[in-house]
Structure 1
Amino acid sequence: MSDCCTPDGSCSTSTAQNGTTVVADSHTVVYEVAGMTCGHCESTLTKAIGDLDGVLSVDVDVAAGRVGVTTGGEPDGAEIAKVVADAGYEVTGRAV
């Protein structure tokens, strides 16, 4: 049995090649965010979104104007948009 499986044979987590733990029930949503221009923007949003309950990781791409958010379960888009707005940026949509 692998390390990711429980005694009943179901999988709850798995370990990626880089050693990070991935929750089997995780969801990644990429948001389009306006107003980001630099590394400070990246740091600000990474911390603000990363502090939310249920957020497993945040990937900010300033050049593309996108923020990927991985959560352990369904993401709360309204809560993420509020935190982004409180930080001085704007969620303008979800990337497809």
Structure 2
Amino acid sequence: MSTTEYEVTGMTCGHCEMSVREEVEQIAGIENIDVSATTGKLVLTSATDLDDAQVFAAVKEAGYSAVRV
């Protein structure tokens, strides 16, 4: 298992969290998604190492931007 944390800019509410979750859960290999508008964090647990570019693209599709922390 691998855990990766990202900081997401622009999330303000539960709807924001849901939008990010819906896009990110389409990435293959993700076991668990923890997203919080309050902290601005996205924590992903996966069976293998994630491709940051895929995560960034999914977050962008949801309307936000992310950086790995």
TM range (shorter): over 0.9
Q: Percent identity?
A: 35
Aligned residue identity for 2:47: G
Higher helix share: 2
Name the Cα RMSD after superposition.
0.9
Partners of 1:62 and 1:84 in 2: CA distance: 13
Q: Which has the higher contact order (CA 8 A, sep 6+)?
A: 2
5+ long unaligned stretches in structure 2: none
5+ long unaligned stretches in structure 1: 1-25
Instruction: Report how many residues are paired.
Output: 69
Correspondence for 1:79: 54
Correspondence for 2:68: 94
For the residue of structure 1 that corresponds to 2:20, the secondary structure is helix
Aligned residue identity for 1:94: R
Q: Report runs of 4+ in structure 1 exceeding 6 Å deviation.
A: none
> Which structure has the larger Rg over C-alpha atoms?
1
State the TM-score, normalizing by the size of structure 2. Answer: 0.92
